[in-house]
Structure 1
Amino acid sequence: MNYSTLKKGLAVSFVALMGATSIASAQDSTMTSSSAKVFGGSGQYRTWSLGVNGGVLSPFVIVGGSNDFTNWKPELGYGISLRKQLSHAFGLEGNLFRGKVSGDNEDANASGTVNGIKNFETEIGYAVDLRGVVNIGSVDFLHRENAMNFFVTAGYGAVVYNPKLNGVDKKGTWGDDGDKDYIKEQYIPVGAGVKFKVSDRVSFNLGYTMHFIDADNFDGLYAKGTSKDKFSYGYAGLEFSLGSSSKPNMDWANPLALMYDELKDPSLRQEVEALKNRVANVEKSIEDLKKDSDGDGVSDQFDKCPGTPAGTAVDGSGCPLPAPVAPTATAGNVTGFETIQFEFNSSVLKTEAYPTLDKLSSVLRENGGKVTVNGYASSEGTAAYNLKLSKDRANSVKTYLVNTGVNASQVTTKGNGEANPVASNDTEEGRIQNRRVETARN
């Protein structure tokens, strides 16, 4: 292929491609990224894209280096790409391309040969690689909408090729056994480019990629044992965003503009004001829960006896505790260390427990000493809940004793939950006996 034919072919191809993109642009001109949110995640965007490209292959790269041939001929290359955009600034791209790379030594000397080699032409059976793509211009501080993005790429790949020297095809002679049509080697692609937004779904790309091969026979010559061959690919192409038309293309979404729009969104401001009102209501509800009008230590929400006179000793429900009663003939045998029973799922003292507790209070106030109050529960409910219930029952006894004049330091409480049952928990009669508090002198 001569250079003139290459230029004409590329020109015709891209005129046709630009005509197709103008139609796509008209169809997608109303598509914007206004529906996207700053923290909405990648699922709100189209993140897959398919590209086609064509361009010129050369055995030289712009960073220089040694070459086995002095001149190069422009040869056509073409390929496809598939990219997954992982964020506004970074994506992964797979590339597959084919083409030819050629050169000669016409300027080497009068004969135009070096060691009898006049020219080479390397057929690239295929080259495939995976690259990371960084969109440098994806976050633009100066413009609300981006119409042009610069990008850089780097990755890893493999290429299969068949070099010809002086037009001699050596297919079927490569490989360790000399029976392969192509040589297979690894390479590192490094490149850069710029993309232009044709529409939200289509972009026009210009790029340049250098391919550094892990071998010195890409041009068919082993000129230097320590040198590595390379080739470059300058291309133009179109990239098509895939996915639902209801989603914007992540390539052209500007996160800074999205953040500004969200902060200025009237509906967001309304939501913020509504949230402030809800917080204020919650704070008021908490204050109402804490309110204790009669100052008895029990909030109005749970006070079953509102208006208790100041200084009155009350139980957990805010009701006055009964005054200690003098021992009677029927209570003459009470020692104060009898077992105290409770109702199901309750830590409220029953009235029949008062004589026992009054006796225990009298003993502690007159004789001093300390007691341990052990709370227990039957087996209904979870172990954790029963442990808490047993602690509440023990604390109810301590509260009663303290309110009748016993020093709090004289009473130690302990919750034992379902432990140490005095009767079987398989019957209601047994469970009734297990809902109890026992006191013991220390």
Structure 2
Amino acid sequence: MAIRKYTALLGLLCLFASSSFAQIGTSYDVQDSSLIPRKSLPQHNEFMNNAYPFPAKPRNQWEVGVKLGAFGISGDVPAVWPQLGFGAHVRKALGYVVSMRLEYNYGIAKGLHWSSSANYQKNKAWTDNGYKAQARTGDGPLIPAQDVVYYNYKTNIQDLTLQGVFSITNIRFHKTKSNLNLYALAGFGGMIYDTKVNALNGDQKYDFSGINGGVYKNRKDTKKALRDLMDDSYETDAEGYDDSRAKIGGKTFRPVYNVGVGIAYSLSKRINLALEQKMTASKDDLLDGQRWQESPAGDAVLTRDYDLYHFTSLGVNFNLGARSTEPLYWLNPLDYAYNELNAPKHMKLPKPILDDADGDGVTDQFDLEPNTPANAPVDSHGVSKDTDGDGVPDFKDKELITPTQCQPVDADGIGKCPEPACCKELREGGFAPKAACNIGDLPSISFTGRSVSLNNDAKAVLASVAEKIRNNPNCKIAVIGYGESSKSAQQLSWDRVNAVINYMVEKEGISADRFIFKYGEGGGDGNTVDLRDGTTEEGPNAVPAPHPNLRRKG
């Protein structure tokens, strides 16, 4: 039975652990003076004035709990599991790891031995009721037993202990807190107990000879036969009841100490469930009513092992108290430090002084062009802007946007545009203008959501377009993106056009001069980039991002 008990306990521990990593909230506000006890207000004031680095410990709630579970004794007589136990406690945190708990427990334990005994001559619970054990008088011969017995007991135990409880999982380095709390405990106190033996059937002793005769070959059958034979009276005081040990209310008193482990699962900031295993020891070998060791020679000698009792319980705990934090063993003491490092609210930070030698608004450690002339427009890296990409920075460029076909430009950024082919044909031959190229209609590229990445279908379409462009070397291609309603839409349109042109240049090997960059156009589908014959159009093959802070990564 004990093996099954611990297997069930392990299963429940695993069940709790499987859901233990959900975060259930943050810690308290260290600047809230209403949570600080009066005696700690001087430290709190010094902390708020940055005269002391540590915040004052807050007022935290008391825990009150009740529990119910399986109770049993480990002794000379095998226990009958499970039996009922009950407990109640009050607990208060001394810090984030250590807390103190005052606990009362009441338990009923039963035991029944499957093996018969004939050497019980010193156990008055049996001899005073007429049972005849084997015995030896002095050096005389061994007198065989007339009766065999089966040791059994029923014990009522009450204890009151003061325990130190040590929480080991509330200090977290990678999350604020969790809803799982593992703890260990150790304590001391006192208990009173009363042990009875079922030695009589009414006023007559039991006849165990039929069971002892070898009919039953295993423990299970033997114990079933004993239960069928015996009543549930437990009418006889066990050995040791009338000895000189201290009594309280007619029950034997013994000092005890206990150790245990537990796991608590928080349902809310006020309620948690706890699964706990606790073992209690006393210097007493009569909790199960038997302290004599069987001897083939007929002598009964005292055993040297003391009885223990165990309590496996499931409890519900309540956190009580107004204007208080949760008990400190539920809080992570690192929470304040990490939050303050991430987003300072209390620290006094010196005003940063970052050099910017050229005064362009980009500090020197990030400035890729640290000698930009005064008032020259620069990008986020401190490099002079060149809007039309003609190689002349804007602060020198007298023609800010020079069409690609009009480049290269002179030192002032002014280009010389070629005569349109249609006009040249009319001038030279007097013929009607002809189409600039015969590339025909080109497909559109579709995007989903707010993505700026090309999927496999889009790449396949662009591969076919690239083949057409190679077969029509005189053609230029206009790449048009739509979206003019907002800054975000304009930037998304730019990102998508930029993704298409970059793919054609980098993956398909098409010269960047073959493209015209158009974005933020109206009247089209914002999730589509159109490709068309742009030979007769003008425009740059690259333009700066209109809103670089809104750029999306592919």
TM-score scaled by length of structure 2 = 0.39
TM-score scaled by length of structure 1 = 0.49
